[in-house]
């Protein structure tokens, strides 16, 4: 069975993330969504919260599994038996860093990376901007699933 690993911070998951994951399902039989848990960073949503959000958002997709990892991505890829890492590319500005990581992961473990060009409607979308807009009271309803919009509202406005 061919498995793709979609890794990321997902702080929080956006419509762009869901789009990439759903498009992976057209190509791969199994998709593992890997949420990074980096103890030296302070995300808005804990790793447990991000995993819970993604599980709820992807509940209609039985071929998707959600997990979290610490340390090297290639080590996690091996534990979930992933053949390939899949990342979304929004614009050329993403390319340099993503290409560097892809080459490093190949060097470390012969792990291939494939890129999905995100839908143009999501090309400007990032979790950081979503957080900023939500924190400043802007409407994020068209950028994130309703559950995420609700959780952002609770985080910032209680």
**Which positions are catalytic?**
17, 41, 90, 127
Closer residue to ligand PNS in complex, CB, 118/158: 118
Compute, in degrees rounded to 10, the torsion defined by CA atoms 66, 34, 149, 56.
0
Cβ 6 vs Cβ 89: under 8 Å = no
Whether omega for the bond prior to residue 12 falls within 30 degrees of 0, making it cis, is yes
The nearest distance, CB 15 to ligand PNS, in angstroms, is 15
Cβ 53 vs Cβ 147: under 8 Å = yes
Q: Which stretch binds ligand PNS (CB under 6 A): 4-12, 40-48, 115-123, 142-150?
A: 4-12
Compute the radius of gyration of the chain from its Cα atoms.
15
Cβ 35 vs Cβ 68: under 8 Å = yes
Closer residue to ligand PNS in complex, CB, 84/104: 104
- Regarding 7 and contact with ligand PNS (CB under 6 A), the answer is yes
Residues 6+ apart with CB under 8 A from 127: 9, 10, 11, 12, 13, 14
Q: Which stretch binds ligand PNS (CB under 6 A): 6-14, 21-29, 39-47, 146-154?
A: 6-14
What is the rounded end-to-end Cα distance, in angstroms, of the chain? 44
Closer residue to ligand PNS in complex, CB, 71/137: 71
Closer residue to ligand PNS in complex, CB, 72/129: 72
Residues between 50 and 109 that touch ligand PNS (CB under 6 A)? 72-73, 101, 104-105
Cβ 32 vs Cβ 4: under 8 Å = yes
The nearest distance, CB 155 to ligand PNS, in angstroms, is 19
One character per residue 9-28, x = contact with ligand PNS (rule: CB under 6 A): x-------------------
Rule CB under 6 A: which residues touch ligand PNS? 7-9, 36, 72-73, 101, 104-105
């Amino acid at each position: 069975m061919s498995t793709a690993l979609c890794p990321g911070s997902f702080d929080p998951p956006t419509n762009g993330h869901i789009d990439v994951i759903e498009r992976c399902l057209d190509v791969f039989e199994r998709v593992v969504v890997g949420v990074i848990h980096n103890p030296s960073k302070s995300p808005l949503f804990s790793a447990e919260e991000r995993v819970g959000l993604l599980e709820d958002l992807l509940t209609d997709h039985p071929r998707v599994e959600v997990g979290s990892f610490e340390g090297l991505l290639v080590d996690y890829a091996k534990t979930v038996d992933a053949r390939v890492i899949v990342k979304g590319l929004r614009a050329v500005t993403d390319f340099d860093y993503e290409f560097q990581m892809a080459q490093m992961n190949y060097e470390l473990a012969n792990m291939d990376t494939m890129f999905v060009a995100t839908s143009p409607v999501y090309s400007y979308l990032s979790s950081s901007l979503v957080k900023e807009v939500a924190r400043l009271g802007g409407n994020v309803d068209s950028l994130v699933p309703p559950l995420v919009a609700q959780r952002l509202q609770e985080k910032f406005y209680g």
